[in-house]
Chain A
Amino acid sequence: DTAVSQTPKYLVTQMGNDKSIKCEQNLGHDTMYWYKQDSKKFLKIMFSYNNKELIINETVPNRFSPKSPDKAHLNLHINSLELGDSAVYFCASSLRVQETQYFGPGTRLLVL
């Protein structure tokens, strides 16, 4: 009965590869987010979707492409992975924007 789940939990891959991270929430929330947390624990928003529509798109390389097939899912596809993409990626959801956010367990991405 996990509220916000992400897969995979760990992802180790070579530079140049393409990978996807999946996120699902069963809270009935309208808004979902992707965050990147770097090695210094700094957490930065990347994207946000509200009712399947993109509402926030921070300055993120266009190698990163989010997709929301429905309100309960927000996936993140990354093309041509680079060393600097190594980080922990968190998915989150909230009932509405500006409200309490519920985070997934994170996906630890290591690019070699």
Chain B
Amino acid sequence: SQQGEEDPQALSIQEGENATMNCSYKTSINNLQWYRQNSGRGLVHLILIRSNEREKHSGRLRVTLDTSKKSSSLLITASRAADTASYFCATDARTDKLIFGTGTRLQVFP
């Protein structure tokens, strides 16, 4: 079964608004990663957060990790139309492989 599930499955917002996506996973991890996939393209890495970290920032992105709840969130502030994409969390489940979640489709309207 899948390790990660994103919530919501789809999100539509206006430019300038913030977008929050959540990821829940099932087993212990070493790290959790967030990726973005534009339509018809490959995945692009956004942020890696390790199990001993609680929060990480990168530009307009903020990721939190709560290992006690086995959950993570990705916040995109001041969204832009170019942020329109699918966003995936991925966990390692303390193995050599990444297990990807189901993804959140974000639509940002100009």
A residues with CB within 8 A of B: 4, 33, 41-45, 48, 50, 55-56, 58, 90, 92, 97-106
Interface size on B, as a range, is 20 to 34
Query: Is B73's CB within 8 Å of the partner chain A?
Result: no
- Asked whether, in the complex, the Cβ of A100 is within 8 Å of the Cβ of B33, the reply is yes
Point out the residues of chain A lying under 8 angstroms from B42, CB to CB.
4, 90, 92, 103-106
The 6 closest A-B pairs by CB, nearest first: A103-B42, A43-B100, A97-B96, A103-B43, A100-B45, A98-B92
- In the bound assembly, the distance between CA atoms of A100 and B41 in angstroms comes to 17
Contact A41 B48, CB 8 Å, known A55-B96, A56-B96, A106-B42: no
B33 (CB) vs chain A CBs: closest residue: A100
Q: Given A4-B42, A104-B42, 20 other A-B contacts at CB below 8 A?
A: A33-B97, A41-B37, A41-B102, A42-B2, A42-B103, A43-B88, A43-B100, A44-B100, A45-B98, A45-B99, A55-B96, A56-B96, A90-B42, A92-B43, A98-B30, A98-B96, A100-B45, A103-B42, A103-B43, A103-B44
